[in-house]
Structure 1
Amino acid sequence: MRAVKWISSVIAVIVLISALVFFGNFFSKNSSSVSNTNNNKTAPATTKSNSDSKKGIQVTSKNDNSSYQTVIKDGRYLTSKARGVTASQESNTFNQVSFESGLLNFSKKHFSTSKYIFQEGQYLTADQANNWLGRQSDDNQEGLNPRDNGKFNDERNPIYLQTIEEQDFMTKEGNKLKLNGIVLGLAMNTQDTYQKEQYGADYTQDISKADRISQGQKMANEIVKRYRKINGINNDTPIYVAMYAQAKDDSLAGGSFYSWNVSKSGDSLGDWTNVDNKTVVLPVQANTEDEKSVSSKLNSSFVNFSDNIESFFPNLSSVTGQASYDGNNLQGLIVSVSTQFYSATEIESFANYIAQSAPNYLPSGVPIKIKIEASTGMQAYLIKSADSDKYKVTILGSY
């Protein structure tokens, strides 16, 4: 009996050791340290405690070259220091989505996802962003927006610059990350909303295209000069600046990028390059500029898609789309479906029906996201990549 117990104990120990080795290898494959090479091979295993393994800088793994590896610090995703800082409250949420996604797409054209690591902005602090986005005044000499001239009509000095977004691009050097470039997105207002008195009515002031462009270029030059003075940014670190025109508050689509520039060294920018980006709301209205931008085939296909799902579930509030274009080339589509559903089975049935019918109507070869929303919030969403026609369905709040 003692021999049997002894043998059983030995077997149990062996099984336990094997399990620990297996899971140790499993987790090491799902988190790459900065000492790993760019082909995502994991570094040799080291004997560290769980608390030690979470200290320092690491980078995430990735499944393909369409996305960046990102930075983890002390076991947590490294977030932007100035995340969410704006000159005034953002009333059009479409602006934020198209600004951030468009800026990342711009960055991918200049910093390869296979070579560089993406890091959320770490050089501009929240306090600096607040000061820079504020009006210039005796108390805020760093304000980039013009002084308040006290007027409440078209002669008033509007808020031109709404948001600054920073993206950092890194490479590995031993156990450290080295800054190899910065991309800055500057979101410029096309319309400024203001109040004549606190808690009073909202008024709007349109900003001309010429003023937006000239003010944006002047601010971009000043921002690059300030970035060159920030500790950790070398004189020869490339700084790209992408200019974005915000859509008006009542628009059903976000804005678009219109030009970019780069400072490869020093604090001066070169010549500006125009960008022919635009976002168009579907279905398009007759006799509008959007009608000239969208092919009749895409618009009619979207209308047929909308009619199809409305006939399946008639209690829909609206179906709208945002088509993103680079020149005449469709880059992507976001569809918003507003519903009155409350039943979990209705939501699931509806989402699955859309997944089946969407490939028959919506374009192929571009990424598409379909959001199903009610007054209580988003209920489900469907996504497909550019190289697939199959939609992945996610039902929120389900198990």
Structure 2
Amino acid sequence: MRKLHAVWLAMILIVSACTPVYDNTDEVVRETTDEESEEKAIIPNYDLSDNTYRMILTEGASKISAARGVTTNQMGNRLDIAEFEGGLQRHSKEYYNPEEYYFQPGQFLDDDTLLSWLGRASESNEEGLNPELDEDSASEEEFRETPRYISNIVEQNYLTREGDDDVVELAGLTIGISMRSVYDFQAEGRDYSENISTSESLSKGREYANTILERLREREDLQNVPVAFAIYEEEEDNAESPGNFLSKGYAGGSDNSVGNWEDIDEEYVLFPSDEAEEDHFDDAEIFSDFRTEVSDYFPNFVGMIANGFYVDDELREVKIDIPIQFDSQTEVTGFTQYVYSLVMEMFEDHYSVEVKINSMDQQESLIVKEPGQEEPFVHIYD
């Protein structure tokens, strides 16, 4: 029996020695206001790039964010959803350096709080930020005069580590405020829409930022936390390009009002479009030539659109979607190789290019070229 035990022990030691150990996370403690309920959390040891935040994941949490479902329900354009949340993190880098701060989805504003704030002010909802109106009896004119300006609020948390300790604490918040550019409503049995000017959205958004800051400061755990704000203007629900950020401001840990507002000069431009032809003619010509080359190779392709992202009127990235019906995997490979060569030859080097090739709502291949990169990344899906 002892010999048998020795054999089993040897086998266990051999297996243990051969089993790889993956040390790809760092366990920390996230401080809370309740000293008896500290949360354990993990931080990945690797980030996706030098310019991205490492995300804190709370162990055993039933939800990643306190308000996961609000954005999807409040914003009608999927492109707006992606740009609002992703762009908010991009603008947060001005205040919270990714080399020093960790990211965590908002933990303070839950679904009920946000839905209350996004509703209309009323006797039953004093927290509503949108102007008061009895929508059951309001006339068309009353709807137009008092639209629902604000559609969504997103909270993001930024944390730092305390020295060399395995403790992280909240060091800053970012609050995104999304404003409608078009207000759709129904009055007297008919559907209407009202355009909201950018200047009006900007003015209202800054008012909301101060109101939201006042409410955050009412919480003991947020009284001395810096808060950055960014105001976003949505596109229409059926638009093929997302909206854009208008302005950002900041309140230091001891501030009770938002200051240091600065305008944001960003926009997404659809190719082909009249706007692209008028405002970005040279880029529109490059896309037109690219489109022609693709149609020469594959005359029956369904169509192609692209979104160019401009910052301070300079093109930073272009994302191209090519929908084509393929008959075989070899066609996918051949066409991807051809598009790869076009990307190398036709697009300039100072902006990123992403090409998605799709068929029947399924992505077939991906080509990505970053500025300064000699050769694009290419992946063909099985």
Cα drift, residue 379 of structure 1: 4.3
Which residue number in structure 1 is paired with residue 88 of structure 2? 103
Which residue number in structure 2 is paired with residue 18 of structure 1? 17
Amino acid in structure 1 at the alignment position of 2:172? G
* Structure 1 residues 147-190: Cα deviation after superposition (integer angstroms, max 9, x where no partner): 22512246342111111111111111223221111111111111
The match for 1:238 among 226, 246, 249 is 226
SS of the aligned residue for 1:56 comes to strand
Q: Distance in 2 between matches of 1:313 and 1:76?
A: 50
Total equivalences in the alignment:
364
Within 5 A, what are the aligned runs for 1:72-111? Answer: 72-74=57-59, 79-86=64-71, 89-111=74-96
The match for 1:161 among 129, 150, 163 is 150
Amino acid in structure 2 at the alignment position of 1:206? N
Within 5 A, what are the aligned runs for 1:1-399? Answer: 12-20=11-19, 23-24=20-21, 27-28=22-23, 30-34=24-28, 56-63=40-47, 64-74=49-59, 79-86=64-71, 89-149=74-134, 150-153=138-141, 155-173=144-162, 174-196=165-187, 202-233=191-222, 235-264=223-252, 265-285=254-274, 288=275, 290-294=276-280, 296-341=281-326, 343-374=328-359, 376-395=361-380, 398=382
Cα drift, residue 236 of structure 1: 2.8
Stretches of structure 1 lacking an aligned partner (at least 5 in a row): 36-54
* Structure 1 residues 17-48: Cα deviation after superposition (integer angstroms, max 9, x where no partner): 3224xx22xx11x112238xxxxxxxxxxxxx
- Give the TM-score taking structure 2 as reference length: 0.85
Cα drift, residue 299 of structure 1: 1.9
SS of the aligned residue for 1:232 comes to helix
Q: 1:202 to 1:390 in 2, by over 3 A?
A: farther
Q: Distance in 2 between matches of 1:220 and 1:206?
A: 22
SS of the aligned residue for 1:302 comes to helix
Which residue number in structure 2 is paired with residue 46 of structure 1? none
| Preserved contact between residue 87 and residue 163 of structure 1 (Cα < 8 Å) | no
Q: Distance in 2 between matches of 1:59 and 1:359?
A: 37
Give the superposed CA RMSD: 2.9
Q: Distance in 1 between matches of 2:241 and 2:100?
A: 33
Q: Distance in 1 between matches of 2:53 and 2:364?
A: 28
Q: Distance in 2 between matches of 1:88 and 1:151?
A: 26
Which residue number in structure 2 is paired with residue 40 of structure 1? none
Q: Distance in 2 between matches of 1:148 and 1:99?
A: 27
Q: 1:395 to 1:355 in 2, by over 3 A?
A: same
Amino acid in structure 2 at the alignment position of 1:240? A
Q: Distance in 2 between matches of 1:387 and 1:122?
A: 38
Cα drift, residue 395 of structure 1: 4.5
Q: Distance in 2 between matches of 1:395 and 1:87?
A: 30
Cα drift, residue 219 of structure 1: 0.9
Q: 1:108 to 1:386 in 2, by over 3 A?
A: farther
Identity %: 26
Amino acid in structure 1 at the alignment position of 2:235? A
* Structure 1 residues 115-174: Cα deviation after superposition (integer angstroms, max 9, x where no partner): 111111111111111111111122211111112251224634211111111111111122
- Give the TM-score taking structure 1 as reference length: 0.81
Q: Distance in 2 between matches of 1:177 and 1:369?
A: 36
